[in-house]
Amino acid sequence: MAVPGFQEMMLPLLKHLEDGKEHANTEIADYLSEYYKLAETDKKELLPSGRQTVFDNRFQWARTYLYKAGLINYSKNGFSVITDKGHEELAENLQEITIKYLQKYPEILDFYKSKKGQTQKAVPQVDNLNPEEALEASYQQMRQKLSRELLDSIKKCSPSFFEHIVVELLVAMGYGGSRKDAGEAIGKTHDEGIDGIIKEDRLGLDIIYIQAKRWNGVVGRPEIQKFAGALLGKSAKRGIFITTSSFTKEALEYRTNNDTRIILIDGEKMSNLMIDFGVGVTTINTYEIKKIDTDYFEE
């Protein structure tokens, strides 16, 4: 049979996790391919980009929606496990799980928040958009999905690998000179609330002090004040506080009393910067949007 849609995959995927155990995503994918009796040609069918199979793409979207609705969790990288909410849904003896059904969960509505923070319709009606708008809406949706998957992966990595990610990101953004220089700076000092230092530019004309926190809890004003005090003790002018979580309103509103400047980077901003600068992600396709050059046809 042909590869089923990702909505069709959601219920059998959830039922497969009913035993409450952690399941490797590769094992879940194998189960679904057998469940639908897919031929090898079906499993190997590629998207137009040629970079990913149709089956894997739809399987990943099925997992994403179940995760965003809170029915499954990513227990660790490459594994999924059912939640209590997932067990409750299966107790309802559902015949199918669709995006429309999942809209009862606020988490799904949050999944479709625009960049301006205004909630869009839970399922964008592409038919009501012009082709450019439809492409942009799809791109933003895929970017949000990728951003959150990146952040989930970052939170599961070790503290040392998190420091490695920070190094890669700052160097990709133009700081630190070389990866070797940056690697020697980040994660080495742990001195009075400072996790490392990095050059502002390749010539090393100025130094930026780093505080990197792989936290799940919200970072409050006291942590920023502590970092500001550490910078003052170093007579430092610039600092970056980067975390996998978020900052309280008081932390965001904190301003130092001197000319020291502190940049706050939360988990969402970090994951978006990683996308922008190609850290931890790979490009599967590129589309060019062209329009007619009216000047060319002027005689």
Average pLDDT over residues 289-297: 76
Contact yes or no for 262/240 (Cβ under 8 A): yes
Return the SS3 of 213.
strand
pTM: 0.63
Ranges assigned E (strand) in 21-78: 23-24, 72-76
For the cut 90, the answer to whether the pLDDT of residue 237 exceeds it is: no
Banded pLDDT at 189 (limits 50, 70, 90): very low
The CA distances from residue 26 to 4, 80, 169, in Å, are 18, 10, 29
Enumerate domains of the chain plus CATH numbers. Answer: 6-123 (1.10.10.10), 159-276 (3.40.1350.10)
Banded pLDDT at 173 (limits 50, 70, 90): confident
